[in-house]
Amino acid sequence: MKEQFKPYIPADKVTPEMTPTSIIMGLLLAIIFGAANAYLGLRVGMTVSASIPAAVISMAVIRVIMKKDSILESNMVQTIGSAGESLAAGAIFTMPALFIWAKEGVMETPSLVTITVIALFGGLLGVFFMVPLRSALIVQEHGVLPYPEGTACAEVLLAGEEGGSSAKSVFLGMGMGAAIKFVVDGLCAIQSVFTIKLESLKTEFSAEVYPALVSVGYICGPRISAYMFAGGILGWFVLIPAIVTFGGDIVMYPADVSVAELYAAGAAAIWSKYIKYIGAGAVASAGIISLIKTLPLIVRTFMDSIKSIKTAGSTSTERTALDMDIRVVLGAIALLILAIWLVPAVPVTLLGAIIIVVFGFFFSAVSSRMVGLVGSSNNPVSGMTIATILIATICLKVMGDTGVHGMQGAIAIGSVICIAACMAGDTSQDLKTGYILGATPKKQQIGEIIGTVAAALAIGSVMVLLDSAYGFGSDMLAAPQATMMKMIIEGVMDGNLPWTLIFIGAFISITIEILGIGALPVSIGLYLPLELSSTIMLGGLIRKFAEKKFGEQKDEAGKGILFCSGLIAGEGIVGVLLAILTVARVTDAMNLSSVIPTGNAPAFILIALVGAAVYKSAMGKKNEK
């Protein structure tokens, strides 16, 4: 029989959680992180996870400055604060397409009310969809799904409680992660990726230097890291060489130049035009397979939640197992779906509302499980959103809802589902942190709702401001994901989408699953650039060496996990600060790339040093239990 997990704060002990201090600090961080990540994501196509930075900030204020011994209060701050980043990520992946269409004269510029309402509805749905899944994914899968950022966040907070060598490991990692992030992305003194072109193989090998990726690989472990790297190898050392070899002077959609001309710009150009579609098909197929495999567990958990109606309000329920009342959750979901259909600011028909119910819950469940494997920062939400946009646009076209209204409806459906998936993933990470620490799930779920409302009210103004200042789709704000969503919708409406590439990915995923290998991490590796999965693999290898030295012992209390948690925290905090400095137009003055020669050698040395530091921390003496 599986031994019951014992949290840091026992279930029978009540400590402050949702206080005025935690709510106010959480709201401020939700707005700040939401705004900063909106800009960062629109510029480079990636956001930084805010959970750990929020945890570190709350720990510093509540424990160090205010001298309060309240780990669950600090946890509530990061729960509320991280909602801003997740909601921003979902919004920027889709809604800028509406602004770009407006510039092209296709439709009117979306109003502030439309952006805010769509963001609010999507965010709240994501939180509510996750409530009945908590027991299945967080409790019953504890020890199976690592939830790297949720676990790292808990380790950061625990290190602050315990002090001593534990805190030293975390803060050494924080210092190193922050310094590297500042040197690479702030000063631009070292390039962020080193690339080796392999002309004989018609491809290239690349790896990013960011310590957070090594840390994710270490926390996830060698098996999951290897699966992701296998997907990267399949894309970059099988599919790209095949496309280049057999494509030659042929022009294949969606590219508008020949394969040879495309390859002249680098293997990454082949990936962006072809492999990304194959990866999107693989992720969508793997997501469906994952849902089918976990459906019995999800249904059983949901039915258990329904049964809990009879015992609602019972004093026998443990504090650490107390979720929001399922009646409130179901009622809120029903009201939100009705509002999505009836509120004029949201251009969604009844069919669109039905699509949101079905696929919103589906992708929220998949996202919640996926972040348990690879973390929120590497959660390919854009891949799931591509699948959503495809299905929604096809359904709308079949029903005759085409033209401007159909395009608006497809983006609105995709936006709500994308935001819901992002919020469900963030909520599951936060609930994992709370599960380890001994937080009250119900209070955390209420905290997520508070953070969602604050972030939704802020994100509309931020997006309108950024579009007015720089313009979505410009060199300053390329909005890569939203541009792709726009192209897909236009492709479906015009009937010229590269379905062959998407189905190639789907059948690759099915083949991998038939072989008895989990298709989801492999598909994620295929969808993400090789530079991510190769660095994650380095962390997985270091974890493998650590496990070999310490036998079957788990590293849950080891210095390796603590040091990696610090690396993630340090990089995350500086990532958010750099985003704010970028908005303030300070980073251009800091850029040293024009005076310091960069190349592969400094980047390679840096990633080697990061790996050596993680290895040394992992090989250190184990903390006593």
| Residue 458: partners with Cβ closer than 8 Å, 6 or more residues away | 30, 31, 34, 35, 84
In a domain, 5, yes or no: no
Per residue in 540-592, pLDDT (tens digit) is 999 888 877 765 444 443 578 778 878 887 887 787 788 778 777 787 788 88
Distance CA 270, CA 243 (A): 8
Asked if residue 624 belongs to a domain, the reply is: no
pLDDT of residue 157: 85
For residue 490, being part of any structural domain is answered with yes
Residue 357: per-residue pLDDT: 87
Cα separation, 160 vs 183, whole angstroms: 27
Q: What is the pLDDT of residues 92-138, one digit of tens each?
A: 889 999 999 998 888 888 889 999 999 999 999 999 998 888 888 88
The range of the structural domain enclosing residue 81 comes to: 20-619
User: And the tokens for 420?
Assistant: 């819901």
| Residues making up the chain, counted from first to last | 625
- Segment 131-151 shows an average pLDDT of 83
Query: How many domains does the structure of the chain reveal?
Result: 1
Q: Which of 232, 326, 111, 143 is nearest to 522 (CA)?
A: 232
Q: Can you tell me the distance from the alpha carbon of 367 to that of 418, in angstroms, rounded to the nearest whole number? A: 10
| Residue 13 domain-assigned (yes or no) | no
Burial of 424 (0-12, 13-18, 19+ CB in 10 A): buried
Q: Is the pLDDT of residue 447 over 90?
A: yes
Residue 139 has pLDDT above 90, yes or no: no
CA gap 606, 405 in Å, rounded:
50
Mean pLDDT for all residues in the chain: 83
Mean pLDDT of 394-405: 86
Percent of the chain exceeding pLDDT 90 equals: 29
Report the alpha-carbon angle 169-170-175, nearest 5. Answer: 100
Can you tell me the mean pLDDT for 35-60? Answer: 72
Confidence band of 435 (pLDDT split at 50, 70, 90): very high
* Residue 376 predicted with pLDDT over 80: no
Neighbours of 10 (CB within 10 A): 12
* Lowest mean pLDDT across 66-70, 160-164, 276-280, 456-460: 160-164
Mean pLDDT of 10-21: 88
Which range (139-153, 418-432, 573-587) has the least confidence? 573-587
pLDDT of amino acid 216: 83
Question: Residue 519 above 90 pLDDT?
Answer: no
Region 180-199: mean pLDDT is 89
Are 51 and 376 contacting, i.e. CB atoms less than 8 angstroms apart? yes
Q: Over the range 303-324, which residues count as b (16 or more CB within 10 Å of their CB) and which as e? A: eebeebeeeeeeeeeebbebbb
Using CB atoms within 10 Å of the CB of residue 619, give its burial: 0 to 12 exposed, 13 to 18 middle, 19+ buried. Answer: middle
